[in-house]
Structure 1
């Protein structure tokens, strides 16, 4: 399947872009409409399609895990409820049994997950893995069996044989790093709690990822060690492990095993024409197919395969270009997708058909667009009927949200930079205040066309929101990613300034009212933007931001592994020992005295990715000359806002700060 960029552009938005632009005649939507915990989420269809599990928010904030009959959605059973913990994952084990993961939002460290299993009627609840949350008896009932795995275990996946088993892994540590060194897979029966080793005998060291075949056998072990990415393969449970790829993780062509198709063919993400594509890999010949299975012009392959575990075949491929889509190989599913798209024009509609997809009784549809947050439906093919289950953010009126689109602009050195732009819904009388919103990472993809709460919140306040995928970002080809190596504070910053200047030339942005904001790396880029381009960026908002590159290598509180410090980070960021002067040049801490613009800083007291020492040192330095710095620490937060009360407080502060310092 080969897709051209032009065939994908605006695949979903033709209908939505024909609507008129609405004037904002009422008050701005409240912060809660964007950032409170979702009202509906984790909607999962059972393997047969007979039932759908859904997480609902009660009026008092309690989370209810409900199960509905797809033949009669008025038939509802509550399988579980919980208040202080947050649901992290939900999956059907079989048509009768569910497994779910809870996370304690007050704590931020490895192993902070509790795993449970429960029948769909709420009976036979079993606490499988005890993380750090200690309120299971009170919140989930008294019928929980008390034999639990310890917090060094984690849920990986369900099995696909109809049993009550799931796949879990046990972590091991090296007594140096905060993060685990390896994980080992086991089958766990969710009723008897019997644990069965899935990999017996000699095996590779330091495995941190496994790929299982359609029979739930561990067939590929993936190792990341000393800057090398190694993939080991075995043909069966008793066969030896042999490496099928051993490469420099960044400098050599990509080779990332993703899934088996049930016919002993491995599908991998591999390099192709300066980007990555999806290939079939012949395990007998140890070679890639001559042509890619899926290739998208202008984009790396970012997606997953939809497998039919009973027929042992690929049904389709979910992927993201500028927006998300699905290419179905199966004619039944393609027909269902076409009918759903006709019922829900103007949105990207992802379909989940469970395991039995050859003639599904019902499917779950997740619809989203640039203006519409995730909205959930059950579709029954027999009668072409679509029934709504609710929206994650029911307080959002799509008609009052901003138009979002995708562009590629030329940076000053000619490199093309992808940019998402969200324009306010209200008609403009002229250029408006603008925000350059920088994604974290930075060696990740920032987002896609679909709903983005942060961008839409800012647009609802009248700001043009610019989200560049600056050099260093992944998802748009290797040249863009490679161009960002060791460019923190340098050409990566140029891309942000060039994006702002481009928006000024387009007539969207007022050159005297442009701000910059972001989290993690985006927080770093915000501070360096204020340092390097004071003529352009009038204000800054950073949260969980890196304030000194050197501290990333030296802070003992950091969760970066020793291996990452020695290899990955030196390739991508730089070498603090060989060239310390280069770090000083692009350190916000060293340049703090140059920042005179209003600045809002927010950090988590438990952050181990960017320890609070970053924030404290920078705040002390910048405040010596700049009296327009607002600083807040959230003691219970880590690297990002997990608690609803934090998100609401933070974005209310952002709203007020920008209104006072940028909007006018």
Structure 2
């Protein structure tokens, strides 16, 4: 395999176990194995490192909350439900946790309740409901309604308190109410914050210091000065077309760290001068060719920064603390071929938690004793997946026809010669986000296991790689954004990876839109297309009132980034698949969720009605209770079985 670029990454790539036989397995992995529910839902280390909270499923596939003593490895299940999963857990302090619930076996349209919130001691005692899952119609004593959500723990060792929020305001100007709740007695305290704020940042003492206000297209960052407990505005900027900054964290000494372009192409981490209301010009963390996306790791006892997590072509961690760096080196020696993310105790302790993964391994979790050197497993994601059958993913930068670099990931079938393969151009949704990442992806790996090469371009308009790439995609739906996909296809052909006569374009949401436009615009480049939950008419994004898009996005973001319905009417018509449906004659698989509120079903029904009479190669499926993507295993098996048969028919079996 080809590892992530060592120029960007400090740790290695892919895991090999001595217990795994060297011979390659021949059987093609079942579709079910890529999408079935995980028996392991994650683990979280206590602040003192003496216990780990683990989410594990039994034979009924329901995730239960288990506490493990890290000294003895003894397990105790403290919460389990026959009809629900415990989906998340957070440590309040060394002896108490809070958890939320859900039902992993239901589709989006079948979900009727919120996650709720329960507090419980690690011995299973003193359980208390903090937030109910659904409104009972009558008030409960010291129990918050279902509209509240868990926000964060206070984080001080002796505190039983947490923060919760309740969304309020309107779709136009959303806001939130912040409260502090004692998880033992249920006493609630309102937190004084500026009006119309919807984002918050606390300091290490659990005091609110930063509030974010978004009104229409303006964002304001406000700061509560601990010297006089008064609020003042640090900055105010236009959400869409002005450079501002995002508050990242507050250090143990009260210093504010922010993420900003600060006049440069990529976003970096800066320290903020609170006395003079300015960003200190020298970046603290700068990543060549990538926007900063990660976190700063502080030691409260040492009162200093000890590490940085980030993502470039893959995830990485740089430790500034010599002792933790030595621990990282020892862990990497034990697990030489995975990315190994170490979590240290919030307080001092000899136990650290490790989350490991690679492009061929979904995920593993361990605890590591830094004194004895013992590595103990906690859980494995998708144990049915055999890494010997998975394919390697590599990061590349492709030159578009106008010279712009398009970051992309290419996956070639593991046991192929890497030449003249059928190719899937996989288009991410959003589109204004980073699509690709280095790690195990069930959709990509399924396709690769069937003999298809997969290329994932982060076309212009994608975020994460600098302002130039992002802004080059403004008002380019169906135009230069589409050119980038065609250029990625051509690059794979020029490299010898792909057969030019066997290329399919595929994607969900915006990726579904791009699939439709790819077949309309350049039908000779793609033999077929697969579009699920795809946008079929740009104007419907503006006009459909039951979409979950915010009014701010519809009124301010979309006209700026996609196009103005009046000023750009001709362009929107020319680049809306529904308006051009008569031109689409290639084989097409269309799939939608009937309960989708992001891209409502009307996008699908209108387009299918417009194409079905003249295109006899269109296949159509609607999943009754699904939303913006598929949650149920049976629906995933059905959809990807259709995809497999569709590709076999139109691209040819591997």
Task: Pick the TM interval, shorter chain.
Answer: over 0.9
Q: What is the aligned counterpart of 2:629 among 616, 640, 651? A: 640
Q: Deviations over 1:335-378 (max 9, x none)?
A: 2111111111121111112312x4x2211111111111111111
Does the residue aligned with 1:93 lie in a helix, a strand or coil? strand
| CA–CA distance in structure 1, aligned partners of residues 401 and 83 of structure 2 | 49
Structure 1 range deviating more: 642-651 or 38-47: 642-651
Partner of residue 98, structure 2: 99
Contact 2:307 2:318 in 1 (8 A): yes
Number of residues of Structure 1 aligned to a counterpart in Structure 2: 639
Contact 2:41 2:87 in 1 (8 A): no
Q: What is the aligned counterpart of 2:603 among 606, 614, 631? A: 614
| CA–CA distance in structure 1, aligned partners of residues 220 and 265 of structure 2 | 21
Q: What is the aligned counterpart of 1:469 among 458, 464, 471? A: 458
Partner of residue 81, structure 2: 82
Q: Report whether the alignment pairs 1:118 with 2:96.
A: no
C-alpha displacement of 1:656: 2.5
Partner of residue 332, structure 2: 341
Q: Report whether the alignment pairs 1:219 with 2:206.
A: no
Contact 2:169 2:176 in 1 (8 A): no
Q: Deviations over 1:511-534 (max 9, x none)?
A: 111111111111111111111121
Does the residue aligned with 1:192 lie in a helix, a strand or coil? coil
Contact 2:25 2:388 in 1 (8 A): no
Q: Report whether the alignment pairs 1:380 with 2:369.
A: yes
| CA–CA distance in structure 2, aligned partners of residues 458 and 394 of structure 1 | 19
Q: Structure 1 residues 601, 290: CA separation in 2 closer, same or farther (over 3 Å shift)? A: same
Partner of residue 294, structure 2: 303
Q: What is the aligned counterpart of 1:150 among 134, 138, 145? A: 145
Computed over aligned residues only, the root mean square deviation of the Cα atoms, in angstroms, reads 2.4
Partner of residue 189, structure 1: 182
Task: Map 1:440-455; keep pairs closer than 5 Å.
Answer: 440-455=429-444
Contact 2:537 2:603 in 1 (8 A): yes
C-alpha displacement of 1:582: 1.1
C-alpha displacement of 1:90: 1.8
| CA–CA distance in structure 1, aligned partners of residues 93 and 102 of structure 2 | 23
Task: Map 1:499-510; keep pairs closer than 5 Å.
Answer: 499-510=488-499
Q: What is the aligned counterpart of 1:247 among 216, 237, 241? A: 237
| CA–CA distance in structure 1, aligned partners of residues 233 and 70 of structure 2 | 46
Contact 2:408 2:436 in 1 (8 A): no
Q: Report whether the alignment pairs 1:164 with 2:154.
A: no
Contact 2:396 2:407 in 1 (8 A): yes
| CA–CA distance in structure 2, aligned partners of residues 367 and 380 of structure 1 | 16
| CA–CA distance in structure 1, aligned partners of residues 10 and 203 of structure 2 | 35
Partner of residue 355, structure 1: 346
Mind listing any 5+ residue stretches in structure 2 that lack a counterpart?
none
TM-score by length of 2: 0.93
Does the residue aligned with 2:444 lie in a helix, a strand or coil? helix
C-alpha displacement of 1:466: 0.3
| CA–CA distance in structure 1, aligned partners of residues 173 and 637 of structure 2 | 33
Q: Structure 1 residues 306, 644: CA separation in 2 closer, same or farther (over 3 Å shift)? A: farther
Structure 1 range deviating more: 531-540 or 307-316: 307-316
Structure 1 range deviating more: 586-595 or 86-95: 86-95
C-alpha displacement of 1:224: 2.3
Contact 2:88 2:100 in 1 (8 A): yes
Does the residue aligned with 1:275 lie in a helix, a strand or coil? coil
C-alpha displacement of 1:627: 2.0
Structure 1 range deviating more: 557-566 or 273-282: 557-566
TM-score by length of 1: 0.91
| CA–CA distance in structure 1, aligned partners of residues 614 and 312 of structure 2 | 45
Structure 1 range deviating more: 294-303 or 335-344: 335-344
Contact 1:424 1:459 in 2 (8 A): yes
Contact 2:593 2:627 in 1 (8 A): yes
Partner of residue 283, structure 2: 292
| CA–CA distance in structure 1, aligned partners of residues 275 and 554 of structure 2 | 37
Q: Structure 1 residues 640, 84: CA separation in 2 closer, same or farther (over 3 Å shift)? A: farther
Partner of residue 657, structure 1: 646
Contact 1:23 1:425 in 2 (8 A): no
Q: Structure 1 residues 97, 10: CA separation in 2 closer, same or farther (over 3 Å shift)? A: closer
C-alpha displacement of 1:603: 1.6
Q: Report whether the alignment pairs 1:270 with 2:248.
A: no
Structure 1 range deviating more: 104-113 or 223-232: 104-113
| CA–CA distance in structure 2, aligned partners of residues 22 and 655 of structure 1 | 29
Does the residue aligned with 1:193 lie in a helix, a strand or coil? coil
Partner of residue 66, structure 1: 66
Contact 1:254 1:276 in 2 (8 A): no
Q: Structure 1 residues 486, 23: CA separation in 2 closer, same or farther (over 3 Å shift)? A: farther
Does the residue aligned with 2:230 lie in a helix, a strand or coil? coil
Contact 2:173 2:552 in 1 (8 A): no
Q: Structure 1 residues 83, 270: CA separation in 2 closer, same or farther (over 3 Å shift)? A: farther
Q: Structure 1 residues 616, 654: CA separation in 2 closer, same or farther (over 3 Å shift)? A: same
| CA–CA distance in structure 2, aligned partners of residues 275 and 286 of structure 1 | 22
Q: Deviations over 1:29-86 (max 9, x none)?
A: 111221111221221011111111111122221212211111122x111122235444
Partner of residue 36, structure 1: 36
